[in-house]
Homo-oligomer: A and B are copies of this chain.
Amino acid sequence: MDATQRTDQQRSADRRRRELLEAADRVVLRDGPQASMNAIAAEAGITKPILYRHFGDKGGLYAALAKRHTDALLDSLRAALDAPAERRERVEATLDTYLSAIEARPQVYRFLMHPAEGSQSDQGFDVGKHSAPLLRRMGEELAQVIEERLDLGPGSQQLARVWGHGIVGMMHAAGDWWLGERPCSRADLVRSLADLLWGRLAAAGDKVGGPGF
């Protein structure tokens, strides 16, 4: 049990771990949030006990998996948010980044959004609650960016958080619906959402002949 041996073992263990996570990825990509440990083990070409040796239990695997994707997506979003451009442009870039991601791997993001679903033994305590599901994390992250950069007057912190979560929810729901129906191009969707955030709802005139909205 000397040092070099230790590192060798750890190296191989890490490699294995990565492989397993990638297999899990593929399964989630195919089965969505319903992915079972059996299926994941099968996909990885190994058997369940190994999975359990590596991740402890299902929650552990899920957490590892979630962390991976969540971090990746959040990095992309931060990049879009930090680009040197006008505010509107950056908002559009951020929306587009998110939509591209869910478009490329819808099942994965369904899994990330609702980590609790598909589990039956986790009845007692909701995994989603303490694994900080993607939506919450994105909301908080966005809130922070807003609060940092915008001058919102008194109560700005509260306001920023509400907006953060609200905007993320808007993005998510619109994205979900759009994925299902594909009623327009991604660019159109981005523009429409940005328009909404830019106050076009309040600015629009009442339709002639009808009761005002």
A residues near B (Cβ < 8 Å) are 31, 33-34, 87-88, 90, 114, 116-118, 120, 123, 129, 135-136, 139, 145-146, 148-152, 158-159, 161-163, 165-174, 176-178, 180, 183-184, 188-189, 192-193, 195-208, 210-213
* Chain B neighbourhood of A145, CB < 8 A: 213
* Chain B neighbourhood of A114, CB < 8 A: 114, 117
In the assembled complex, how far is the CB of residue A178 from the closest CB belonging to chain B, in whole angstroms?
8
- Specify which of A88, A198, A213 lies most central, judged by the most chain B CB atoms within 10 Å of its CB: A213
Contact of A174 with B169 in the complex, beta carbons under 8 Å: yes
Copies in the complex: 2
Contact of A151 with B192 in the complex, beta carbons under 8 Å: no
25 contacts between A and B (CB under 8 A): A34-B120, A87-B213, A114-B117, A118-B118, A120-B120, A139-B173, A146-B213, A148-B207, A148-B210, A149-B206, A151-B205, A158-B188, A158-B192, A162-B174, A162-B178, A163-B196, A165-B176, A165-B177, A165-B178, A166-B171, A166-B173, A166-B174, A168-B173, A169-B169, A199-B202
Smallest CB gap from A181: residue in B: B161
* Chain B neighbourhood of A206, CB < 8 A: 149-151
* Chain B neighbourhood of A170, CB < 8 A: 166-167, 169-170, 173
Smallest CB gap from A208: residue in B: B151
Residue A207 contacts which of B87, B151, B177 (CB distance < 8 angstroms)? Answer: B151
* Chain B neighbourhood of A205, CB < 8 A: 150-151
Kindly list 9 other residue pairs between chains A and B, CB separation below 8 angstroms, not including A135-B173, A158-B192, A168-B173.
A90-B213, A117-B118, A129-B180, A150-B201, A150-B204, A163-B192, A166-B173, A197-B201, A198-B201
- Specify which of A114, A167, A201 lies most central, judged by the most chain B CB atoms within 10 Å of its CB: A201
